[in-house]
Amino acid sequence: MITPVKIVVPVKLMPEADQAAALSATVRTVNDLACWVSEVAFANDVPREYELRKHTYAHLKEQGLGAQAAQHVIKKVRDAYTTLHANIRAGNLGKSGSKRRLRAESKPIMFRPESAQPYDDRCLSWQMDAQTVSIWTTAGRIKNVRFACSTHALKTLREYRKGESDLIERDGAFYLIATCEIPEAEQYEPDHFIGVDLGIVNIATTSTGYQAAGRQLNRYRKRQLALRAKLQKKRTKSAKRRLKERSRREQRHVKNTNHIIAKTIVTEAERTFAGLCLEELKGIRQRVRLRKPQRVALHSWAFAQLGEFIVYKARRAGVPVVYVDPAYSSRECAHCGHVDRLNRTSQATFVCRSCGVVAHADRNASHVLARRGENVWTAGRESRVPATP
């Protein structure tokens, strides 16, 4: 079965001054009205979308929203409550009666003035050749709004853009976040499996010898943290802005690095008709118990992202991916299978108490994972591959 992989492609709008004013007014108006719809929803025990529309649609039209924009505002509000309720149910806001949960439950959801506004094809159209969009605003439809993106992104948009896009404003600039549905390749029957061990010191180690050292990323992050601490002491507005910029830059940097690592791993698997075997993601945080200075080295989201990128690229390339329980993978000998806490003599080295094999600890773990992956595959158990967002 071939199901498409959904990805988002952000493009930056390059509006003329009057276009920018129209976009800015639009984003503020729709979010202002979203706050109002949210209050109505809250006052009416958050009814279903259909019911909520009855209470709010006419007023939104009166305020100058088109039919689509009005419906998108209502849906956005309803979706926000659905997400909130799901979070409450999942216990993400603490137990019933906790401070955080009470705060979330006791008042309507609010929307920031620059929050994302969804657009469908009726209120937004793309001219890929001219690299412009025509977009609905509260000042009417504006045409020939130029947008900037990479050649690669443009190609993706041209071939696969489908469904809604979000308009957002950030630091005075406007972006469209377009959804693309990319068909996934048919999976091949793997010839063997490559184990991928994820860690802090070495971000990724594969059983075929590839290793992405974390040293550079960790050093980069440390430097960013030091600068951030400095900025945090000044509580000025400009320091705040620079802090935000810095954390965005850092995220971009990690993202780039993760893309490169994921690409290297998936390309190798594809080239050798191998499958990939990863640890179940929830294992990483549990497994990695670190002293404090290392704990700040890399956030768990960075790992989750690397895992996501690998899965996403693998799906696009038709590379089979299996997940295995990482339990004891760092204590098990890839050579003889002996499991012993003492096998792992240090962060870096592995010395088997039974057969005497000496190996690099992460490399040993990656071999253990490769074998477990092979077992999972041959046992025919369909492994759970999480859907890429």
Token digits of residue 346: 């240090």
Q: Under the rule (CB under 5 A), what is the footprint of Zn ion? A: 333, 335-336, 338, 352, 354-355, 357
Least distance (Å) between residue 370 CB and Zn ion = 16
Beta-bridge partner residues of 178: 9, 165
Residue 101 or 353: the one with the smaller Cβ distance to Zn ion is 353
CA distances to 70, 189, 223, 302, 362 from 201, rounded to whole Å, are 50, 33, 17, 13, 9
Residue 226 or 355: the one with the smaller Cβ distance to Zn ion is 355
Residue 148 or 355: the one with the smaller Cβ distance to Zn ion is 355
Nearest to 287 by CA among 357, 277, 258, 278: 278
Token digits of residue 246: 């810095």
Least distance (Å) between residue 373 CB and Zn ion = 19
Amino acid at 185: A
Residue 290 or 355: the one with the smaller Cβ distance to Zn ion is 355
Token digits of residue 324: 């295995």
Least distance (Å) between residue 290 CB and Zn ion = 26
* Eight-class DSSP state of 353: T
Residue 91 or 356: the one with the smaller Cβ distance to Zn ion is 356
Positive or negative, the Cα torsion across 333, 336, 341, 345?
A: negative
Residue 195 or 214: the one with the smaller Cβ distance to Zn ion is 195
Residue 263 or 338: the one with the smaller Cβ distance to Zn ion is 338
Token digits of residue 273: 């008709």
Angstrom distance (rounded) from CA 372 to CA 322: 9
Question: By the 8 A CB rule, do 178 and 337 touch?
Answer: no
Question: By the 8 A CB rule, do 157 and 128 touch?
Answer: yes
Least distance (Å) between residue 93 CB and Zn ion = 47
Least distance (Å) between residue 355 CB and Zn ion = 3
Question: By the 8 A CB rule, do 358 and 345 touch?
Answer: no
Residue 11 or 333: the one with the smaller Cβ distance to Zn ion is 333
Beta-bridge partner residues of 134: 125
Least distance (Å) between residue 323 CB and Zn ion = 25
Least distance (Å) between residue 333 CB and Zn ion = 3
Angstrom distance (rounded) from CA 84 to CA 46: 11
- Residue identified by tokens 């909520």 is 52
Token digits of residue 183: 């068909």
Least distance (Å) between residue 344 CB and Zn ion = 12
